[in-house]
Each structure stands twice: as C-alpha cells, then as structure tokens.
C-alpha cells in the first residue's frame, strides 16, 4: 500500500504541475479571467490532495497498512478526479452542468481526511 500511494501521489503532483503550466501558458490567452480562476482552483486542490496521498503513504510506512488509510488514499484520489477534473473541464468547455460533479469530489476529500484522522486517533502512543 505504501509504495502504491507514494506512486499515485507523486504522479498526481507531477500532473498538477503540468496541468497548471498548461493553463498558465496555453489556456490563459484563450479562456476568460473567470474561467482561469476556476481552473486555478482545480490545480490548487489537485496539488494539496496529491501531497495528502503522499502523506498517507508515509503514514502507512510508520503505522502499517490499514483499511482506513487505504480508504483515505483512494478517496483523495477520487476527489482529485471528480473535484479538480470537473473544474478543469468546466473552465475549458464552459459547460455549466459539469459543476454538479464538483461537490462529489469535495465530499470525497472530506471523507478521505476523516479516514486519516480516524486512523491517527486509533493509534496508541508508544
């Protein structure tokens, strides 16, 4: 689990940088300022949660594998796809109904962080 989430987290962080650079250098002249703000929000949440997945991998190294950590990692990953992905598509295409998907990603983020908290609380001090 540790290696899997370290890989996924690093991949997501790399994609966040690439997607952000694409937006700044290629997309900004094409879409309006309002769409760029939406896009940048997607990039920001993408990177923060990629780092969260890396944190989960590190936690698995300290605490060992657990169902709560696995759920936390997969939920943050799903959140990136749903939340950031829907914002990227919304900013690029302007299709407003895509915004309906975004809150599902936000819920995945929140539940993922709750799973990490639950794992941390369940660990006894050595």
Rounded CA-CA distance 124/96 in Å is 47
Number of domains in the chain: 1
Phi, psi of 65 (to 5 degrees): -65, 145
Place of tokens 């290696």: 3
Q: What pLDDT does 73 receive?
A: 98
Rounded CA-CA distance 53/77 in Å is 7
Pick the range with the lowest mean pLDDT from 75-79, 105-109, 119-123: 119-123
Neighbours of 81 (CB within 10 A): 14
Judge whether 116 and 79 are in contact, CB under 8 Å. no
Cα angle 119-85-113, degrees, rounded to a multiple of 5: 15
- Span 26-44, pLDDT tens digits: 888 888 889 999 999 999 9
Pick the range with the lowest mean pLDDT from 4-18, 21-35, 40-54, 94-108: 21-35
Rounded CA-CA distance 18/10 in Å is 12
Q: What pLDDT does 29 receive?
A: 81
pLDDT over 90 (residue 126) = no
Neighbours of 117 (CB within 10 A): 12
pTM for the model stands at 0.94
- Span 55-100, pLDDT tens digits: 999 999 999 999 999 999 999 999 999 999 999 999 999 999 999 9
- Print the domain residue range for 87: 2-122
pLDDT over 70 (residue 118) = yes
Judge whether 59 and 86 are in contact, CB under 8 Å. no
pLDDT over 80 (residue 124) = no
């Amino acid at each position: 689990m540790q290696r899997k989430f370290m890989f996924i987290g690093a991949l997501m962080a790399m994609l966040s940088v690439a997607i952000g650079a694409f937006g700044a250098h290629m997309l900004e002249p094409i879409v309006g300022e309002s769409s760029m703000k939406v896009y940048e929000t997607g990039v920001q949440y993408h990177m923060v949660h990629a780092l969260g997945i890396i944190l989960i991998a590190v936690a698995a190294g300290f605490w060992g594998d657990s169902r709560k950590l696995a759920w936390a990692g997969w939920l943050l990953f799903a959140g990136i796809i749903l939340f950031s992905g829907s914002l990227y598509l919304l900013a690029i295409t302007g299709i407003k109904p895509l915004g309906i998907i975004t809150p599902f990603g936000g819920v995945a983020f929140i539940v993922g962080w709750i799973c990490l908290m639950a794992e941390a609380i369940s660990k006894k001090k050595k």
